[in-house]
């Protein structure tokens, strides 16, 4: 897959603003500061398509980006301690609505920091994706922060943690672009599977249908 000219489409603050386009929507989820926006920029080959931040917990919107054959949705990060209880509850309600309807999203990239064991919030998110039977791949971010040996070891540890096969975890670095080609290849497979099996495929075996 070659990506050229990815563009920002719009932001959604509430369910009435969710896009329901003809193209498949692939969502990028993960805790605040894990590297969601940087991951999107890496795929786009642009530095500032999605706004990145050193201050976690800033993005409270779903930001949509047009990647040609598909749309990427940059979701608000979870697990930021300083967010008020009310805001967390609102976030939960918006996410529930987003994921409860396949017209909103077809595939999920679940981002976790390669350096750390997944958090309770990561586990909740993944359980949630299982509940709705979304096909997804784990993206282990910030791979430049550990040694090359550790990239392999940590990726395997994350796969073990979530009880998925090793190929379901792709290590990336938005600094060195490690993993970019692997994700682009995966995108080809994902899009082929989505068009073969349909975006509203039955939810009982959705996970097996893509990513292989
Ligand atoms: N070293 C390194 N830093 C990264 C990487 N990805 C993101 N960051 C940094 O982590 C911080 C949060 O990144 P951002 O993409 O805004 O995270 P988001 O909150 O999940 O969207 C920023 O300071 C980024 O520069 C990476 O692959 N390597
Ligand atoms: Mg972000």
Tens place of pLDDT per residue across the chain (212 aa): 999 899 999 999 899 999 999 999 999 999 999 999 999 999 999 999 998 877 665 557 899 999 999 999 999 988 877 778 888 888 888 889 999 999 999 999 999 999 999 999 999 999 989 999 999 999 999 999 999 999 999 999 999 999 999 999 999 999 999 999 999 999 999 999 998 876 654 444 444 444 44
Distance of CA 93 to the CA centre of its chain: 18
The closest ligand to the CA of 179 turns out to be 1
Q: Ligand 1 atom closest to Cα of 52?
A: 16
DSSP designation for 71: E
Residue 41, ligand 1, Cβ within 6 A: no
Which burial class, exposed, middle or buried, applies to 164 when counting CB atoms under 10 A from its CB (0-12, 13-18, 19+)?
Answer: middle
Residue 211 confidence (pLDDT):
43
The closest ligand to the CA of 39 turns out to be 1
Instruction: Tell me the CA distances in angstroms from 145 to 114, 154, 198, one per residue in order.
Output: 8, 12, 38
What token pair was written down for 3? 């990506």
Residue 199 confidence (pLDDT):
60
Residue 58 confidence (pLDDT):
56
In the chain, the domains with their CATH numbers are 7-209 (3.40.50.300)
DSSP designation for 16: G
The closest ligand to the CA of 175 turns out to be 1
Taking each helix axis from N to C terminus, what angle separates 36-44 and 180-197, rounded to the nearest 10 degrees?
90
Residue nearest to atom 23 of ligand 1 (CA): 54
Torsion-angle region of residue 6: left (phi > 0), alpha (psi -120 to 50) or beta?
beta
Residue 137 confidence (pLDDT):
98
Strand segments, DSSP code E, in 115-206 are 136-141, 169-171
Residue nearest to atom 12 of ligand 1 (CA): 33
- CB atoms inside a 10 Å sphere around CB 126: 22
DSSP designation for 175: T
Q: Classify the C-alpha dihedral 81-92-201-192 as positive or negative.
A: negative
Residue 106, ligand 1, Cβ within 6 A: no
What is the value of pTM for the model shown? Answer: 0.91
Residue 58, ligand 1, Cβ within 6 A: no
What token pair was written down for 96? 């529930």
- CB atoms inside a 10 Å sphere around CB 196: 10
């Amino acid at each position: 897959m070659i990506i050229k000219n990815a563009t920002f489409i719009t932001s959604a603050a509430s369910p009435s603003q969710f896009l329901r386009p003809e193209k498949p929507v692939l969502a990028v989820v993960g805790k605040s500061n894990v590297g969601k926006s940087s991951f999107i920029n890496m795929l786009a080959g642009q530095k500032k398509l999605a706004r990145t931040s050193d201050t976690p917990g800033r993005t409270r919107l779903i930001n949509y980006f047009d990647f040609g054959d598909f749309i990427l949705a940059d979701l608000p990060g979870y697990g930021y301690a300083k967010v008020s209880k009310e805001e967390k509850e609102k976030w939960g309600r918006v996410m529930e609505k987003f994921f409860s309807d396949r017209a909103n999203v077809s595939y999920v990239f679940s981002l976790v920091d390669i350096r750390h064991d997944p958090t309770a919030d990561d586990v909740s998110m993944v359980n949630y994706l299982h509940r709705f039977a979304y096909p997804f791949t784990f993206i282990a971010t910030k791979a430049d922060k550990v040694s090359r040996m550790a990239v392999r070891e940590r990726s395997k540890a994350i796969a073990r943690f979530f009880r998925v096969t090793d190929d379901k975890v792709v290590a990336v670095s938005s600094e060195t672009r490690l993993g970019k080609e692997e994700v682009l290849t995966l995108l080809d497979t994902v899009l082929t599977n989505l068009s073969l099996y349909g975006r509203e495929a039955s939810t009982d075996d959705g996970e097996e249908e893509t990513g292989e």
